[in-house]
Amino acid sequence: MLKHRACHCCGMIHEIPELQPRQRAVCTRCGSSYLPPGSRQVTASRTAAAAVAAFVLFWPAILCPILEIEKLSVRQQSSLLGGIIELLKDGSWLVGSVVLLFSVVFPLTKIALLLELSLLEILHRRHKATTLRIMEHIGKWSMMDVMLLAFLVMLVKLGNLVQFQVGPAVIAFVLCVTMSMVASISFDPHTIWENSE
Amino acid sequence: MTLPETPQPPSASEDRSGKSEDSGCNSAASQPNRAAEFPLADVADIKGVPSALIFRSKMWWAALACAVLAFWLTWKSIPADGPSIVIHFPDGHGLKVGDAIRYRGIDVGIVESVELSDDLTQITATTTLTPGAAGLGRDGTRFWIVRPQLSMAGARGLETAVGAKYIGVSLGNPTGHRQSIFEGLSTAPPDEDGGGGINIVLRSEVRHGVTVGAPVTWRGVDVGQILSFSLSPDARSVDLNARINSDFTRLLGRESKFWVTSGLEVDVGLRGIQLHADSLSTIVRGGVSFLTSFASEDNEPVQPGHLFDLHEKLDPAWMTAASSVPLINFELPPTVTIQGTRRTSFLGISRKQTFLTNGLLVTGKEGGPQILTATDMIVQAVPETGEAESITPHLVKFNIGSSLTDSTVTVSVNKDDNGAETDSVLNDDRPGFTWLSCGQPMGDLPSADSKLLRVPQQPEDCCICRSVKTPTKPSSIMQMISRAHLNVDDNLWTVTADLGDLTPWHGAPVISMQDHKVIGIFVSGKSGPAIAPYRTE
């Protein structure tokens, strides 16, 4: 096993002594404990599971009807992707592409990269590093949750003017957001290095 | 992997180490300068193969649940599509994709696309019906685009002035062949509700200002509509196609006289000016009225498409002929009102209930008059224990010794605690009143009455009649019940039309309009009005 490890909290490098069962290594500076190597794999597994769930739910979330709007007896069912296509067709390029990027492309990329990082161990770690960096950057811009907030605002604001009904995609959407959040929270970049060393 | 091998200074920060390290699992050996600063790391095998990584966490169960949910959501949101129907319209009137097809006030389909036809003469609307409304795609079904229409005669489709247009549907023939391509109408048909009624043709020399949708009236009551008009084949007269609604087809006879009630009639004379008009609506739209004299014995019903002459004016002789002859050209059977008291004793407390019901006077086998009525009032009193009331269509036969002079019979029934009859005697002042039998099945119809009674096979147009007391002499009143308003429900035909309170008609005989025979007994129970037809066991 590797002997020297940086504390994940303060970054101080320690030499890890041989540990008996039911013992743990603790940082001398900040007092945080070093995770035993096995537990990292559990975290990675959890990340992978959540990422898989988010990936599976992502498709119904964007393809199934998300809103049913009835305005002056006109009934319209639209999915997220359908709405974006409608926006682009109408010529609202800016709004359409912003929504497309931030609520479809970036979240999907983030989920896919999380999946890759947590599942595909065959990747070389230099690739993993690149992937991690991309994921960290893209993750900032993946704004599915903001989209959900927009729906909520619409429901509250337009409730009296327009008749609303949320479609089945909303359930998928909410769960997808939750799952991708769980995945990114439980994702521990240290696993990448641990397994390959 | 293809990065050039650049020597790293020893001061390289820790967080960049991942990038600077070389390929391979046991790569530590290729970094000698690093090994100088920190102890050499152990060489370890890759422990986590992907398969070992999977199912290490309980989160996988959540992932599985999510996958199932995703599948279910997708399955649910795949719309169960009904048949696709293509409708050609001469004018689109602003119909858009997503607009609805509405039948009887609810959405039964959606417009999928609206396109111009190849020859640019009409539009083609492709629609999808809901699965439940698939039966609308039949030969004879009419489609039209509902749009606001405002005229002196009335307003239609006003909701489409602000909201979206929709396609209206009228089912012509519920048993027609399935069809998927239709020719839409340019305007809403005047007879939107469709179905039923008799279409007739009225021939007249000129149109007399009668418009499509104008009412056909019987003594001022709307009983039908003008559907369309056209020139007769020789162009010498005008043919008006009219429809008499199903409830009023009985008013039509071969001797029916039609005349125009359009417009205003102005009489200018020495006494001043007199204005005659049927109604405001007929001034604007025109109208046709008719009367039928049922004097002739010809009882044959009018066939659809029958041609009548449309007269310009009402001949007063028709009015007198029509009013002198009753609509029912047969004699109503003798009916009686049964006024009774029912003495019941429950837990030793005796109670007296009065009831009023109707009956039919018939001649029994033995020769004496009998009364047919619903048994529940007289024989089976309402159970005191609160059990569900049952209406038995059996007939009660009373043996009446003397002929009745009054139309009211008084009876009294005694019941004991168990609801069983102890003493059911007609307590009439007149002598000779005895029970003959009660609750007998219909198969046991008195043979002498076969001329009066008949066992019906299915609901038919009928009327119920009962006696009413008038200061001068007893007389009968009747109430028509159309076959269309009868619903076969087990042994009873329930009356679906709202004909007001029919409770006083309980026990009244039901007379067929076809052969004027009594075909059952009217009952008005807790479950609503119904007809108990005679049955053979």
Residue B55 sits at the chain A interface (C-beta within 8 Å): yes
Count other C-beta atoms under 10 Å from residue A35's C-beta.
Answer: 18
Question: In the Cβ-directed half-sphere of B334, how many Cα atoms lie within 13 Å?
Answer: 13
Size of interface A-B (CB pairs under 8 A): 145
Decide which of B217 and B406 is more confident. B217
Q: For residues B358 and B278, state if they share a domain.
A: no
| B309 shares its domain with B394 | no
Beta-carbon separation of B59 and A50 below 8 A: yes
With cut-offs at 50, 70 and 90, classify the pLDDT of residue A23: confident
Query: Above 50 in pLDDT, residue B384?
Result: no
Question: Residue B106: which residues within 8 A CB-CB, separation 6 or more?
Answer: none
B5 found inside a domain: no
Same domain, B360 and B317: no
Residues 122-151 of B with CB under 8 A from A: none
Q: Do B19 and A126 touch (CB under 8 A)?
A: yes
- Distance (Å) of CA A87 to CA A63, A78, B133, B234: 15, 12, 33, 61
Q: What is the pLDDT of residue A191?
A: 67
Q: Is residue B281 part of a domain?
A: yes
Average pLDDT of B442-449? 44
pLDDT at B30 over 60: no
pLDDT in tens, A33-68: 776 666 666 777 788 888 888 888 888 888 888 777
Residues B276 and B378 placed together within one structural domain of the fold? no
Does residue B455 register a pLDDT over 80? Answer: no
- For residues B197-204, average pLDDT: 84
Confidence band for B179, pLDDT divided at 50, 70 and 90: confident
**Which of B56, B78, B97 is best to mutate for the A interface (most A CBs within 10 A)?**
B56
Reported confidence tier of residue B23, pLDDT bands at 50, 70, 90? very low
B369 in a domain, yes or no? Answer: yes
Contact B412, B427 (CB under 8 A): yes
More confident residue, B332 or B181: B181
For chain B, the residue count is 537
Q: In this structure, are B437 and B485 located in the same domain? A: no
In a domain, B21, yes or no: no
> Do B159 and A73 lie within an 8 Å CB cutoff?
yes
Report the half-sphere exposure of A80 (CA within 13 A, side-chain side): 25
Instruction: Please answer whether residues B295 and B229 qualify as being in contact, where contact means their C-beta atoms are separated by less than 8 angstroms.
Output: no
Q: Is B80 exposed, middle or buried (0-12, 13-18, 19+ CB in 10 A)?
A: exposed
Are residues B48 and A167, on separate chains, in Cβ contact within 8 Å? no
Pair B171, B280 in one domain: no
| Interface membership of A19 toward B (CB under 8 Å) | no
> Does residue A150 contact residue A83 with C-beta atoms inside 8 Å?
no
Cα B19 to chain centroid distance, Å, stands at 78
Integer Cα distance of B45 and B159 in angstroms: 75
Residue B446's pLDDT band, with cuts at 50, 70 and 90, is very low
Closest-CA residue of chain B to A57: B70
Report the domain count for chain B.
4
What mean pLDDT is predicted for residues B306-316? 83
Check: complex ipTM more than 0.95: no
Q: Which of B413, B428, B397, B392 is nearest to B532 (CA)?
A: B392
CA distance A95 to chain B (A): 24
Is residue B295 predicted with pLDDT exceeding 60?
A: no
Strands of B264-419 (E only): list them.
265-269, 272-276, 288-291, 307-311, 335-346, 349-363, 369-372, 395-399, 408-415
Question: What was the pLDDT predicted at B56?
Answer: 65
Q: Are strands B307-311 and B369-372 parallel, antiparallel or unpaired?
A: unpaired
Of A45, A64, A76, the CB nearest to B98: A76
Which pLDDT band holds residue B440 (cuts at 50, 70, 90)?
Answer: very low
Q: Among A13, A72, A167, whose Cβ lies nearest the Cβ of B162?
A: A72
Higher-scoring residue by pLDDT: B10, B375: B375
DSSP B503: G
- Alpha-carbon distance A183 to A52, whole Å? 9
pLDDT digits (tens, 9 = 90+) for B131-144: 888 888 888 788 88
Q: What is the pLDDT of residues A59-107, one digit of tens each?
A: 888 888 877 777 665 666 778 888 888 888 888 888 888 888 888 888 8
Is residue B453 in a domain? no
Question: How does the average pLDDT of chain B come out, rounded?
Answer: 69
Mark whether B386 and B307 lie in a shared domain. no
DSSP states along B175-194? TPPB-SEEEPBSS--S-TT-
Residues A102-146 have pLDDT tens digits of 888 888 888 888 888 777 665 566 677 788 888 888 877 877 777
pLDDT value of position B417:
42
> How many CB atoms neighbour CB A109 within 10 A?
17
In a domain, B499, yes or no: yes
B357 and B410, same domain (yes or no):
yes
Instruction: Tell me the average pLDDT of chain A.
Output: 77
Q: Does A28 touch chain B (CB under 8 A)?
A: no
Which residues on B lie below 8 Å from A125 (Cβ)?
Answer: 18, 21
Q: What is the largest CA-CA distance in chain B?
A: 137
Q: Is B10 a residue whose pLDDT tops 60?
A: no
Least confident residue range of A81-90, A167-176, B225-234, B388-397 = B388-397
**Given this model, what pLDDT does residue B136 score?**
83
Evaluate the CA torsion angle A93, A94, A99, A102 in order and state its sign: positive
CA distance A119 to chain B (A): 6
CA distances B291 to B57, B60, B223, B272, B300, Å, are 88, 83, 12, 30, 17
Position B275 confidence tier, pLDDT thresholds 50, 70, 90: confident
Helix A106-119 and helix A169-186: axis angle, to 10°? 50
Query: B319 with B225, same domain?
Result: yes
Note whether B41 contacts A197, CB cutoff 8 Å. Answer: yes
Could you list the residue range(s) of the whole structural domain that residue B108 is in? 84-183
Residue B2 reports pLDDT greater than 50: no
Rounded (10°) CA dihedral A46, A42, A113, A193: 160
What confidence tens digit (pLDDT) does each residue in B38-77 have? 766 666 555 544 455 556 677 788 888 888 988 888 887 7
Yes or no: say if B240 and B211 are a contact pair by the CB < 8 Å rule.
no
* A3 to B42: CB separation less than 8 angstroms, yes or no: yes
Q: Among the ranges A3-7, B296-300, B303-307, which has the highest mean pLDDT value?
A: B303-307
**pLDDT at res. B398:** 45
Angstrom distance (rounded) from CA B212 to CA B229: 7
- B229 with B320, same domain: the answer is yes
Same domain, B275 and B378: no
> Of A45, A124, A186, which has the smallest distance from its Cβ to B56's Cβ?
A45
Contact list, A18 vs chain B (CB under 8 Å): none
Judge whether residue B375 has pLDDT over 60: no
The pTM assigned to this predicted structure is 0.43
pLDDT higher at B457 or B350: B457
The answer to whether B373 and B337 have CB atoms below 8 angstroms apart is no
Q: Give the end of a domain, one of B324, B344, B364.
A: B324
Q: For chain A, say whether B10 makes contact (Cβ under 8 Å).
A: no
- Pairing of the two strands B221-231 and B238-244: antiparallel
Residue B310 lies in a domain: yes
Same-domain pairing of B96 and B171: yes
